[in-house]
Amino acid sequence: MALGPAPVLAVLVGLFHTALFVFLRGRAGGRMVLVACAAILGAWAGDAIGGRLGVDPLRVGDFHVISASIVAWIGIAFVSLVAILGPAPAAEESE
């Protein structure tokens, strides 16, 4: 079984953009794992979309870096938006 470069590069691109998001925002809270998963899956999907469109000028082999980065940020934005619009965590009551 041979593993292609797309999943490995998608993980690298997704984790890079997750780290950049945390650096820019200052924190990710308890949703860090969700942000990382969304960025990785977004980068993988972005590579597939870039392969279909064929307009990505920056490529590493067959991996479409710009389209993967754009869709990774869309995934990060989606998770952040859901976290903002979702219910607030319940505060602990002290007696």
**93 located within any domain:** no
Q: What does the pLDDT look like over 34-69, one tens digit per residue?
A: 999 999 999 999 988 988 887 777 777 788 889 999
Q: Work out how many domains the chain is built from and give that number.
A: 1
Tell me 90's DSSP state: P
The pLDDT of residue 73 is above 70: yes
**92 located within any domain:** no
Residue predicted with more confidence, 3 or 49: 49
The pLDDT of residue 19 is above 90: yes
Nearest of 71, 78, 68, 80 to residue 24 by alpha carbon: 80
| pLDDT, averaged across the chain | 86
